[in-house]
Amino acid sequence: MEAIRVLHVVGKMHRGGIETFLMNVYRRLDRDKIQFDFLCFTREEGYYDKEIYELGGRIFYAVSRRENIKKNKQDIYNILIKYPEIKVLHLHLSSCSYIAPLFIAKKAGVKVRIAHSHNTRCAGIFRNITHFFNKQRLRSCATDFFACSNAAGEWMFPSKSWKKGKVLANGIESALYSFDLQKRIKMRKMLGVDNAFVLGYVGRFAEQKNMLFICEIFKILCARYDDIMLLLVGEGGLHEEMDEFFKKEKLIDRVIYTGIVENVHDYLQAMDIFVLPSLFEGLGIVAIEAQASGLNTLLSDKVPIEAFITSLAYALPIDKGPIPWTDMIEKLKNENTVREDTREQIIKAGYDIPESAKFLEKYYINCVEN
């Protein structure tokens, strides 16, 4: 029996949270039973492209809807007709502003059409209007509904649809993130922060992540302590604005930018406290990774409850300014707690990647065969 081929619709296979989760699952699947393909909207090489080909996957390209909406639809239809072995289309959504692949898959005769929510809000008036109208249309084109949290499912899908939906835990390689003292010492030496107290963040430098709020937190802490450093792992559109802030406040020498890295788990070892003051999140997978590393993890009260899986996670308001955050950081700094091994808690909560892979493998097979 040939493997069931699942087509994941993504923008590009770079190192984003959704894409990394998909690759973690892909590596763990029984690929004699399930094979992944990917539909992308840019021919620019993605970070994971080479590995996808090595694992037996394929990458298809369609013109982006912004470039030509008519050709975008035609390209997708042509792919699905040309490759009838694709039995599942799995669309990953940050909003319902673009659900055309589900309608096209239905027209092309693809039996299983999954809509998968990864967000709890979207920005922009036009996108919100489109989201509102398309949300009501999902029932006529999607057969199955996934979300990374209950809040993400409730926001993305009509209530009747979400009643039949499932929360799929965004699993991580928990063993990779477990606290390692020797690795911590090595990373801190490499970064030149041996004797510093390191405030850390991992992710995109985007408005959703509330990056300038992190800048304000850091500014206040620097006025209180001489040993505070800020470690920023990632990249994004707000980099320049953040840089200007740090230069203006004469703090640039206390900030370390790593850019996009392959070994996020190693950089988490070097941190002392992790912050994620997001304006909204579907889940916030990096919050799980931080807790898996034994880090005190400060999250905004907009982060879904599913991300709070250990006693190391704290919910803090963002509408009361940075002071509650700096006060909590100061409290935790003075407590100087020992990093703990949280792997069992991660596994028990269902966030270990083998469990996610096993669930998806069975789900795809059952949907196609029934």
Give 169-220 pLDDT, tens digit per residue.
888 999 999 999 999 999 999 999 999 999 999 999 999 999 999 999 999 9
Same domain for 16 and 165: yes
Q: Is 167 in the same domain as 195?
A: no
77 and 145 fall within a common domain: yes
CATH label of the domain that carries residue 241: 3.40.50.2000
Single-letter code of the amino acid located at 85: E
Considering the domain architecture, whether residues 185 and 145 belong to the same structural domain is answered as no
- Same domain? 203 vs 114: no
CA angle 197, 284, 295 (to 5 degrees): 30
Quote the CA–CA distance of 311 and 174 in Å, as a whole number.
17
pLDDT score of 340? 85
CB-based contacts of 8-11 (< 8 A; 24+ apart in sequence): 8/36, 8/37, 8/38, 8/39, 8/90, 8/92, 9/38, 9/39, 9/89, 9/90, 9/91, 9/92, 9/101, 10/38, 10/39, 10/40, 10/92, 11/40, 11/41, 11/42
| Angle at CA of residue 250, ends 246 and 256, nearest 5° | 50
Burial 133-152 (b: 16+ CB within 10 A, else e): ebbeebeebbbbbbbbbebb
Residues 145 and 22 placed together within one structural domain of the fold: yes
As a whole number, the mean pLDDT across the chain is: 94
Same domain as 48, residue 9: yes
Q: What SS3 string covers 213-224?
A: HHHHHHHHHHHH
66 and 182, same domain (yes or no): no
Q: Are residues 292 and 327 in the same domain?
A: yes
Which residue stretches of 149-308 are H helix? 150-156, 159-162, 174-177, 181-191, 211-224, 239-248, 264-270, 285-292
Domain of residue 62 covers: 4-171+352-369
For residue range 283-320, list pLDDT tens digits in order: 989 999 999 999 999 999 999 999 999 999 999 999 99
What average pLDDT does the segment 47-56 reach? 96
Q: For the chain, how many structural domains are there in total?
A: 2
Give the pLDDT of residue 296. 97
